[in-house]
Amino acid sequence: MKPFKSFFTLIPALLGLGMTPGISQAAEEVNLYSARMESLIKPLLNQFTQDTGIKVNVVSGKADELLQRLKLEGRNSPADMLLTTDAGRLHRALEAELLQTVSSDILNERVPSSYRDPEGHWYGLSLRARPIMYAVDRVNPEQLSTYEQLASDEWDNKICIRSSSNIYNQSLVASMIAADGEDTTQAWAENLVANFARPPQGGDRDQIKAVAAGQCDIAVANTYYLAGMHYSQDESERQAAEKVAVFWPNQADRGTHINISGAAVTAAAKNRDNAIKLLEFLTSDAAQRWYGMVNGEYPVREGIEMNDTLASWGEFKSDDLNMRQLGELNAQALRLMDKAGWR
């Protein structure tokens, strides 16, 4: 598979249709704390400024560091909007009283109810599925079925996955608690840990590379990272990605676990109206197409075009659990994972 085109060459085609000419001087502004790399989201923000005249000032950083910064700044924070990954982090911001509610007919119409806070504190912008990934030369996909089945003896010494400190795994376990109950999930986690091929180490790309290298046969990872490897400029990453295939678990019941990247208006927002406009822009057709075509994520809206890599993995049934529950069950999931010896 050839590397995917640089997003810098695609943005004009994705965002330029139907847009008004640029405004040389931005009369207004909005301050964004973003856990996404500025270089990745900057083209979208530039287009928003061109379309509205609202300048976007970005502070980029790691998700947990930005949350801590918001806490320390309190009501004096200059941030109007927080953009971060994982519903669990959005819920932490909500619990810390860092967010305010937003009432927007546009957002409520565009963002499905399971991908937004029921009270309007935050809204999902893109989806990240966390399916099973397997070695195409060693695993028959007919051997696979559910997340629960990964705890069976068949996968002894064959599974790679990130540590319990990773919030993506915490949210996966939270979703299983919601579906199966705490006792059943506890037993599952203990048996899953017994099937680890190695102690958890590295990020999602490292788990995929370990499968490709034969260190394990199965990984649980976000499709976002596999997509990035497919159109990476690093040939070794592209080669590793070709050795791994996606299996959508739990298609006969609740569906594959998904998570979101999402955004919210901060409690301290001084430019609230502009922040809401930016939120609405990020759910527009053009912005959603950017997520699906350029960034390797699934749009939150149906019927949006996706790149060939995502399309090649086929359609799948996703878990419709409201994302808020991933945050509400996070502490329970952490205790369970610790008790299971998942380090």
**Binding site for Fe cation: what residues are annotated?**
224-225
In 97-108, which positions are buried (b, 16+ CB within 10 angstroms) versus exposed (e)? ebbbebebeebe
Using alpha carbons, select from 191, 204, 130 the residue that is nearest to residue 160.
204
Contacts of 3 (CB under 8 A, 6+ apart): 230, 231, 232, 233, 238
- Beta carbons of 208 and 218 less than 8 angstroms apart: no
Contacts of 43 (CB under 8 A, 6+ apart): 7, 8, 11, 15, 290
Specify the residue for token string 């050839």.
2
Residue 274 per-residue DSSP state? H
Specify the residue for token string 């490897």.
229
- Beta carbons of 134 and 244 less than 8 angstroms apart: yes
63-73 vs 87-95: helix axis angle to the nearest 10?
Answer: 10
Using alpha carbons, select from 100, 62, 61, 94 the residue that is nearest to residue 80.
100
7-15 vs 38-52: helix axis angle to the nearest 10?
Answer: 30
Please tell me the distance from the alpha carbon of residue 252 to that of residue 256, in angstroms, as a whole number: 10
Specify the residue for token string 């046969």.
217
Q: Residues annotated as binding site?
A: 224-225
Please tell me the distance from the alpha carbon of residue 322 to that of residue 311, in angstroms, as a whole number: 25
